[in-house]
Structures are given as C-alpha cells and as structure tokens.
Amino acid sequence: MMSLEARAVRHEESEPASVLETQSLTRRFGSLIAVDNFTVQVKGGEMFGLVGPNGAGKSTVIKMLTTLLPPSSGNASIAGYDILNHAPDVRRVIGYVPQLLSADGSLTGYENLLIFAKLYNLPRNERKERVQEALDFMGLAEVADNLAKTYSGGMIRRLEIAQSMLHRPKVLFLDEPTVGLDPIARTTVWEHIEKLRDNYGTTILLTTHYMEEADALCTRVAVMHLGKVVAIGTTTALKESVGPNATLNDVFVHYAGYELESGGSFRDVSRTRRVAQRLG
Amino acid sequence: MQHLRLRYALWSVYDFVAKTMTIAELEARKLHHDPTELVTRAVQPALWILIFGEVLAHAQAIPTGNLPYLDFMVPGILAQSVLFVAIFYGIAVIWERDLGILHKLLVSPAPRAALVLGKALSAGERGLVQCAIIYFLGLALGVRLNPNFFAILGVLLIAVLGAALFSTFSLIIACVVKTRERFMGIGQILTMPLFFASNAIYPIAIMPQWLKYVSEFNPLTYQVDALRSLMIEGSASVYGLGFDLAAMLVGTAILVVICAHLYPKTIN
C-alpha cells in the first residue's frame, strides 16, 4: 500500500506524468537475450511506436508489459501499478490486441464484444450501450449480428480493437496492428486508431515493422534491433539526425547498421502468412 | 478493516463465479451457432448400447447381480460418452493459443482459475446433451430408469461434474504438451485405460486384484457408481453417494488449481 502512495506522489511531482515507465526491462530465453535493458517513458495520450524487423524483441516487450511473460530482470509500471507485484491491477487498466487473430470467428461481432464487456466488469446497465457505441465507433454496427469469420481482415482488426477498448483502458497495446492487411484496410485501421486517441485520449503503444506505419501514426518511436533500443525520439528528430530528406527506413539502417529485409525466420514467415490467410 | 476484508472476499467469490459463467456462456453461444457436433456425438454411445450392450445382455456373460446387463451398462456408457467428450477437450486451448484468443483472455482481469473452470463447465454443457441422448435410448430399450425428479437432477449434476473433472485433466495435458499432434496421441492412450479400469461396463468384483487397485484411483469409477445409483431403479451405490460426490469435487478442485497455474505458461 505504501509503495502505491509513494508512486502516486512521485507522479504528481514529475511533469508531465508518464503513464508507462520501464526500468531496464530484460528477458532472456536460454542464452538468447530477447530484450536487453529496455528503458522508456511514455507520457499520457502519447502514441509510441516500437519499430524494428521481426525478431527485434518488440513482441516480447509487449508480452512483458501485458503481464503475459515475466521479465528476467527489470520492472515496469503502468498507470502507477508495477507489472511484477500488481499484475491483476495492470490487467484492469490496459487493453491488448495481440498480433495473432484474437476475435472468435464462431461468435458474432456483438457477442465478441458482449463477452469482453462482462470479463472487464462493465456495469450491467451500461453494457449494451457501450457495446453499441464500440460497434458504431469502429463502423461495424451493420454487421454486428454476423459471425466474425465472415468479416474481412480489416473488419476483424477493428472488432479486436473495439474489444480491447470497451473498458476505456489507460494504455492500449497494439502488436503489429496491420500485419497481413491490404493497403486500403490498413488505412482504415490507421484512421480508427487515430480517432481512438483523439476521442478518448488513450495512450497507445504499438509495434510495427512497417516504417511507414510508424511514421504515419506515432509521435515518438524507439528503434529496436536484436533486443536493444538503438535510437529513441520523435520521428521528426530521428529523421533530421540522419540527414535531410531521410525516411524512417534510413533512420533504421543508420542506427541498426543493418539493411531492412522482408525476410525474417521461417517461423515469422509462417506466422505472418497464417495471419494473412485467416484475414484474407 | 475486518469489515473491508470480508467485503473484498465476498466480492472476489462473486467475481470468480461471474467470470466462470461468462466463459461458460461464451462456449454455449458457440454451440448454439453450430450444434452439428452435438449430433455426431450421439452416434458413439448409441452404438455401444445397441450393439455391445445388446450382445452382452444376450450372452449373459457378466454377473451384474439383480440388475439386467443393459440396466447395468447404460449409466456406464453415459459416463463413457461424457469422458470421451471431455478427454479431448484440451485441444481447444492449443487451438485458442495458436489463434491468439488465449492471449487476450489472459490479459483480461478474469481470474485464471475462472478461465479454466468456465471451460470445464462448458464441457459439462456438452455432457448434458449426452444425458438426454442416453435417457432417450434407455427409455426406448426398456431400461428401468428412475423417474424421480431429484434423481434425474442428480444425474445431470454428476455428468457435468464428470465432464468438468476430465476436461480439466485434458486441459492440463494440453498445457504441458503444447502441440496438437502430441496431444492427440496422449488422448488416445488415456481414454481406454480410464474406461476399462472402471466399473463402466463390468463390475469391479470380476477384475483381477491389481486392476481393482487401479480402479479405486480412477475418478470414472466414482462417477459411474453415482450415476448408476441415481439413474437406475433397484441399484445401490457401492461407495456411497456422498463419497462419490466428494471424490469428484475434490478431484476437480485440485485439477483446476493445477491447471490455473499452468494456463498462462501455455503461450510462451
């Protein structure tokens, strides 16, 4: 109890307050260091991007922050709750859209949302209203009673984002939100993510290996390579630091000393294709 | 302080029950959208009763005391069909892990044990349908079914509990082996010993001594014993209904606790 109060006081003192802070967050798998001393601070209402190729450690960071994976060392706090000692509290104040498809295809869009409204303790008398609001917000009202497996890839992603927003989380984690989507669906999803931040002031942390996505959406990004943060800052500042007319791609190549490839390991490719196939 | 703690404890219990029911509701809604699975599941118990049961009843090869053989084996086949539904149930968690549904459930504030128990109860929903099928077959074949309302209610309860117990066991195996292929192999290996080392289709009395010992550690034995005494007129429980129920409840509780611990590890 004491530590909570202490933390709250510290938040009031620091200006502006960080909603998400990590301290040397590290995760090892055997001898592999998947995430190495990850330290960032994300302010309220910020759209923060973790960029880097497959295998850079982005998803591992998200798994640790969403309490799915315990860190090997280090800690993080979200809205004042630390992920090691207050995991259940952390779960109440965050929303999460996994990279994999997480909507249930054998339920309707409405049911997908209703079940999560119940799991997140939305008051009984507000449930229907909030579900309807989420459906309207994501442009899914007309297909609410169709099974989710009949949805297009972009619609499924919007449904999943709606699910993760029902309880108005302080921080929303989006892991590769547009992987496997066609360009039009991608733009629609981007628009909805921006609308979300504008309307609800949600702090969003997203991962992507599409540099143009990070450029379009994020105010600040951390460039990750082989588990390490190699650069961090606003997209504009990072581009300027590399040279005139530099793109985020150039930023990445500059800081990681590594050419971006579309490759990735067999596992990454098969996973991406599987997602793409189900979305298709 | 005392007061607050009590309120928190009560709220936790309420929350646990509510979340468990939400997960069970989720599965019920899926079944409602696609009930074909329920129809195909009716085939196997029907074959067991109509072919195996009828043949052995005519042969009069198995001593079942004052009960006709069909009357003896019908509750056993109910337990068996519920077991078969439940024992492969764990594959669902592997499937949901591969899809990402499990990740999202684990990030929700629902207690992990509620995620497990809700899943287990949804196996029970399927068990209830098996009850209806078996009662129908029993009626058609002139089995002396006990028509007492509370006895039938008891049968339904035991079937749901049995399904919950074995599906949780199955979920634990899924959490440990993590892949579909390995899981299917192990499921196949487990079903037959569980079934044959029980009193489902012959009395424990005719077993060799070593198998008698094994059957006493088999939860299916207690499930069948309870089902038989509740379902069939003129049948009495061997171990006592209270003991049967307690054995199953304790077994389920232990398995749920173990499984809730393993559940989050499935995704890594």
Q: One digit per residue, pLDDT tens: chain A, 280 residues?
A: 444 444 444 444 444 578 999 999 999 999 999 999 999 999 999 999 999 887 889 999 999 999 999 999 999 999 999 999 999 999 999 999 998 888 999 999 999 999 999 999 999 999 999 999 999 999 999 999 999 999 999 999 999 999 999 999 999 999 999 988 888 889 999 998 998 888 888 999 999 988 888 988 999 999 998 899 999 999 989 988 888 888 888 888 888 766 555 445 555 656 666 665 555 4
Distance of CA A2 to the CA centre of its chain: 30
- What are B111-142's pLDDT values in tens digits? 999 999 999 999 999 999 999 999 999 999 99
Q: Return the closest-CA partner of residue A210 out of A255, A155, A256, A248.
A: A248
Domain that holds residue B25: 2-267
Q: Do A91 and B268 touch (CB under 8 A)?
A: no
- What pLDDT score does B57 carry? 85
Euclidean distance between CA atoms B21 and B117, whole angstroms: 9
Q: How many CA atoms lie within 13 A of B142 on its CB side?
A: 4
Enumerate the residues of chain A whose CB falls inside 8 A of the CB of residue B267: 68-69
Q: Is residue A54 part of a domain?
A: yes
- What pLDDT score does A241 carry? 87
Q: Do A119 and B110 touch (CB under 8 A)?
A: yes
Enumerate the residues of chain B whose CB falls inside 8 A of the CB of residue A118: 18-19, 22, 25
- What pLDDT score does A274 carry? 61
| Burial of residue B193, with CB atoms counted within 10 A of its CB: 0-12 exposed, 13-18 middle, 19 or more buried | exposed
Distance from CA of B172 to the nearest CA of A (A): 18
What's the whole-number mean pLDDT along residues B170-195?
A: 91
- What pLDDT score does A151 carry? 95
Tell me whether B31 touches chain A (CB under 8 Å).
no
Q: How far is CA B171 from CA B165, B176, B178, B257, B258, in A?
A: 10, 9, 10, 12, 10
pTM of the prediction? 0.87
Partner-chain residue, chosen from A96, A108, A118, that has the shortest CB–CB distance to B107: A96
B8, B17, B34, B107: best mutation site toward chain A, by most A Cβ within 10 Å?
B107
Give Cβ neighbours of residue A255 (< 8 Å, ≥ 6 apart). A223, A225, A230, A231
Listed in sequence order, the DSSP H helices in chain B are 2-33, 36-40, 43-47, 54-59, 69-87, 91-99, 101-107, 112-140, 149-177, 180-196, 209-216, 219-231, 241-262
A28, A29, A68, A127: best mutation site toward chain B, by most B Cβ within 10 Å?
A68
What's the whole-number mean pLDDT along residues B22-35?
A: 93
Euclidean distance between CA atoms B201 and B219, whole angstroms: 15
Q: Is residue A22 part of a domain?
A: yes
DSSP A16: S
Residue of B nearest to A105 (CA): B30
Residue of B nearest to A91 (CA): B109
- What pLDDT score does A16 carry? 55
Its sign, for the CA torsion B85, B87, B88, B89, is: positive
Q: Is residue A2 part of a domain?
A: no
Q: How many CB atoms lie within 10 A of CB A148?
A: 22
- What pLDDT score does A278 carry? 53
If one counts the domains in chain A, the total is 1
Q: Per DSSP, what are the bridge partners of residue A35?
A: A27
Euclidean distance between CA atoms A18 and A96, whole angstroms: 19
* Ramachandran region, residue A227 (left: φ > 0; alpha: ψ -120 to 50; beta: rest): left
Distance from CA of A236 to the nearest CA of B (A): 33
Q: Is residue A4 part of a domain?
A: no
Enumerate the residues of chain A whose CB falls inside 8 A of the CB of residue B108: 91, 116, 119-120
Euclidean distance between CA atoms A275 and A99, whole angstroms: 8
Distance from CA of B23 to the nearest CA of A (A): 8
Q: Return the closest-CA partner of residue A95 out of A75, A70, A71, A113.
A: A113
Residue of A nearest to B108 (CA): A91
- What pLDDT score does A7 carry? 46
- What pLDDT score does A9 carry? 45
- What pLDDT score does A1 carry? 41
The helix/strand count (H/E) of chain A reads as: 11, 11
- What pLDDT score does B33 carry? 92
Contact A83, A67 (CB under 8 A): yes
Enumerate the residues of chain A whose CB falls inside 8 A of the CB of residue B30: 104, 106-107
Placement of tokens 């196939």 in the chain: A277
Residue B255 reports pLDDT greater than 90: yes
- What pLDDT score does A8 carry? 45
Per-window interface: B 140-199 vs A, CB < 8 A: none
- What pLDDT score does A245 carry? 85
Per-window interface: A 180-219 vs B, CB < 8 A: none
Q: Considering just the CA atoms, what is the radius of gyration of chain A in Å? A: 19
Query: Which phi and psi (to 5°) does residue A225 adopt?
Result: -150, 125
Range A231-234, long-range pairs (CB < 8 A, 24+ positions): A231/A255, A232/A40
A86, A91, A102, A159: best mutation site toward chain B, by most B Cβ within 10 Å?
A102
CATH code at position A88? 3.40.50.300
Structural tokens at position A230: 């190699």
What's the whole-number mean pLDDT along residues B28-41?
A: 89
Q: Considering just the CA atoms, what is the radius of gyration of chain B in Å? A: 19
Q: How far is CA A279 from CA A138, A214, A275, in A?
A: 17, 22, 6
Per-window interface: A 216-275 vs B, CB < 8 A: none
Give the pLDDT band (50/70/90) at residue B28. very high
Q: Is residue A122 part of a domain?
A: yes
Q: Report cis status (omega within 30 of 0) of the bond before A88.
A: no
Residue of A nearest to B24 (CA): A115
Domain that holds residue A270: 16-279
Structural tokens at position A122: 């939305």
Query: Which phi and psi (to 5°) does residue A188 adopt?
Result: -60, -45
Q: Per DSSP, what are the bridge partners of residue A234?
A: A220
Q: Do B103 and A115 touch (CB under 8 A)?
A: no
Partner-chain residue, chosen from A106, A118, A120, that has the shortest CB–CB distance to B33: A106
Q: Is residue A207 part of a domain?
A: yes
Angle at the Cα of B20 from the Cα atoms of B16 and A159, rounded to 5 degrees: 110
Residue of B nearest to A86 (CA): B109
Residue type, A31: S
Residue of A nearest to B98 (CA): A100
Tell me whether B106 touches chain A (CB under 8 Å).
yes
Distance from CA of B107 to the nearest CA of A (A): 6
If one counts the domains in chain B, the total is 1
